[in-house]
Amino acid sequence: MKEMGLRLSASQLYHPKRPSLKDAVVSFGGFCTGVVVSEEGLVLTNHHCGLSSVQQHTSVEHNYLEEGFVATTRAEELPNPELYVRLLVQTREVTGRVLGAVRPWMSEQERSVAVDSVSRLIAQEASREDSTLVGIVDAFYGGNEFWLSVYRDYNDVRLVFAPPSSVGKFGWDTDNWMWPRHTGDFCLFRIYAGKENRPADYSPENVPYRPRYVVPLSTDGYRQGDFCMTLGYPGSTERFLSSFGMEEMRHHTLQARIDVRSVKLQILKEAMEKSERVRIQYASKYSESSNYWKNSIGMSRAIDKQQLIGKKQRLEAELRQWIRTAAERDSLLHLFTDLELAYKQRRAVHRALSYFMETFFYAAELPQLALQQLNFDSDADPASVQTNLQRIRRQYADFDVEVDKRLFTALLGEYRSQVGTDYLPDFYRTIDTLYAGDVRRYTDSLYARTRLSTPYGLDRIAARDSSFQIIDDAAVNVCLDLLALFFDLNGRIYAQNEAVERGERLFNAAVRRMYYQRNFYPDANMTMRLSLGSVQGYTPFDGAVYRYFTTAKGIVEKAKAHAGDADFQLQPHWMKLFTSHPNQPVCFLTNNDITGGNSGSPIFDGRGRLLGLAFDGNWEAMGSDLLYNAGLQRCIGVDVRYILFIMKHYGGTSDLLGELMPN
């Protein structure tokens, strides 16, 4: 890294006791990354990471999605009850202690119980002396190593600035995962703390958090080949996965997501185009669902086009030969036959489960609302009860009965067309017998009969109304049928799932043993990771060369070329502004290794200054979660100079700009 251009020491990047760069990087809500950029606790992250918070405060009267939002005073900053940021305090390896509880004769389930028990004990010890600390033990290398991460969570996080969606989501679905890019994908929040800078639930008495480390912003720009690095919380990769697992992912998990969400997104898009209220309610849900839908399309395409399964099979052929060449490896002789057999035996049920999960737990919301209220614990402590009540009420605020009914109707048909009769919940018998197979008549009746399509049932639960028997509700009956099938399907392949888990763990360890001279880094698992790289353009195909940055000129060109397309719609004053500043830098490319969860990750230069925020990857390298391709994979970032430019020209944010650039 020093040779590439890093000017910081290792202890300036990470130190468990002294302030270091890692102290400014936060896990944002557990699903994105953010970076602390002021002495008063300002956090920069992506617009799409903050979209649900912006949407939560949006109404037809105050459309912050369309118009943007800026708090000109601290009093105007908006609280977000379910949002938190997590700061890493320290991390250390605990493999010896965790695996010390494992015995050779244990089954996979017994091993899992032993590992979980010791991991929970280690995690609890982390918070014994300080109740504000959270300990989490994570598995690395498929469960062959374990590390403890100690965090401190801050629960009072307030929205400070969001550009209008025409800037923050410019290009929307069309440009998603594409380059060249011209998206101002950023939001600004502020962390608040209680007494002595300690974490505290929201209170008007809280004050801005005083960070241990603040990242300075760089307006110097960058050139091709300049060193850069990211720090963030990537979600998951599967680069050690066997070819059998990769094939299952391609044809089950990814295909189910593509098929089901294609139906879902079409229905949501039509409803959102017809109603501003619905568009506000479903903006964040649509964006999240669409993002992973397009990601799955790209991953499937990359697996096929780049022949990733074949590449993994060639590695496995080398591993088979390596296993045969030494007697001490005899315990691995049946590794591949056992793993292949386990995947084969669970194939049909696993495919059905993939469609089941996408259809019933990631699409229509009525079954999800019914499940939450069925499991509602009224006897929990009062604070937890109120928190859960408020969370479910907020879900109802973004729930449209007619939209959900259309969605459920369409997906009931889609699910039946994709799976066999062995995998249908019991309520399909009702559809076929009482409603002669007419799904629309069934869903009309279901949504008319249930008391859970509105907050009525929740209100009865909150009032402890004994006359309300939730177990008799029509939506709960649907939910119970779904749970029965879910547990049945998982039970059918329980043994195969254990065999797969064990086989993949052994396969992971064997690969690392065979190539012991190589440096392997573990798959992403939502723990902090650093990626080093440089600013780089790329050649996506023969005859095409993509340069490493874009400018406002491209925004104007796209807006004109896509006139009438909502994905590229710009208000006149933005069009005028970008036309008058054609050379304003907007986005840039690096070859840093990122994945989901890295959204909002800071991109640093060699001096630890902020160049921008990572927000996307490129279409040509969508298989990167399975195989990193240095020649193709690119990280797309929004330039910090564009962030400052937008803030300067929107909402009179001189105080915020002064806070971000104090010198």
pLDDT in tens, 476-530: 999 999 999 999 999 999 999 999 999 999 999 999 999 999 989 999 999 999 9
Catalogue the active-site residues: 48, 185, 599
Count of beta carbons in the 10 Å neighbourhood of residue 100: 11
d(C-alpha 430, C-alpha 450), whole Å: 16
Residue 652 pLDDT > 80, yes or no? Answer: no
d(C-alpha 431, C-alpha 449), whole Å: 15
Question: Which helix (H) or strand (E) element contains residue 655?
Answer: helix 654-660
The pLDDT of residue 158:
98
Count of beta carbons in the 10 Å neighbourhood of residue 384: 11
Helix (H, G, I), strand (E, B) or coil at 28: strand
Q: pLDDT band at 371, cuts 50/70/90?
A: very high
Q: Does domain 529-653 have CATH number 2.40.10?
A: yes
Rounded mean pLDDT of 190-197? 96
The pLDDT of residue 376:
87
The pLDDT of residue 391:
87
| Rama region for 600: left / alpha / beta (φ>0; ψ in -120 to 50; rest) | left
Output the pTM of the full model: 0.93
The tokens for 617 are: 């990857």
* Burial tier of 569 (Cβ tally within 10 Å: 0-12, 13-18, 19+): middle
Rounded mean pLDDT of 57-72? 92
The pLDDT of residue 167:
96
Residue 420 pLDDT > 90, yes or no? Answer: no
The tokens for 166 are: 């025409």
| Rama region for 449: left / alpha / beta (φ>0; ψ in -120 to 50; rest) | alpha
The pLDDT of residue 327:
77
* Percent of the chain residues past pLDDT 90, beyond the cut: 86
Residue 461 pLDDT > 90, yes or no? Answer: no
Which residue, among 156, 157, 155, 159, has the nearest Cα to 62 in the 3D structure? 159
Residue 156 CB contacts under 8 Å (≥ 6 apart), including other chains: 79, 191, 192, 193, 200, 201, 202, 203, 206
Which residue, among 638, 563, 617, 602, has the nearest Cα to 167 in the 3D structure? 638
Out of 160-164, 326-330, 453-457, 580-584, least confident range? 326-330
* Percent of the chain residues past pLDDT 70, beyond the cut: 100
Out of 195-209, 227-241, 463-477, least confident range? 463-477
Cα 73 to Cα 189, 210, 397, 652, distances in angstroms: 13, 18, 27, 11
Residue 55 pLDDT > 80, yes or no? Answer: yes
d(C-alpha 124, C-alpha 381), whole Å: 21
The pLDDT of residue 651:
76
Task: Report long-range pairs for 107-115 (Cβ below 8 Å, ≥24 apart).
Answer: 107/498, 108/498, 108/499, 108/501, 108/502, 109/498, 115/139, 115/143, 115/146
Residue with tokens 């962030």: 643
d(C-alpha 533, C-alpha 327), whole Å: 41
pLDDT digits (tens, 9 = 90+) for 601-634: 999 999 999 999 999 999 999 999 999 988 899 9
Boundaries of every domain in the chain: 10-215, 243-306+347-492, 529-653
The tokens for 132 are: 């504000």
pLDDT digits (tens, 9 = 90+) for 385-408: 888 888 899 899 999 999 999 999
The tokens for 438 are: 């007419």
The pLDDT of residue 188:
97
Question: Which helix (H) or strand (E) element contains residue 281?
Answer: helix 276-305
d(C-alpha 328, C-alpha 81), whole Å: 56
Residue with tokens 């100690």: 150
The pLDDT of residue 160:
97
Q: pLDDT band at 151, cuts 50/70/90?
A: very high
pLDDT digits (tens, 9 = 90+) for 439-457: 999 999 999 999 999 999 8
pLDDT digits (tens, 9 = 90+) for 99-139: 999 999 999 999 999 999 999 999 999 989 888 999 999 99
Question: Which helix (H) or strand (E) element contains residue 109?
Answer: helix 108-126
Q: Mean pLDDT across the chain, nearest whole number?
A: 94
Rounded mean pLDDT of 531-544? 93
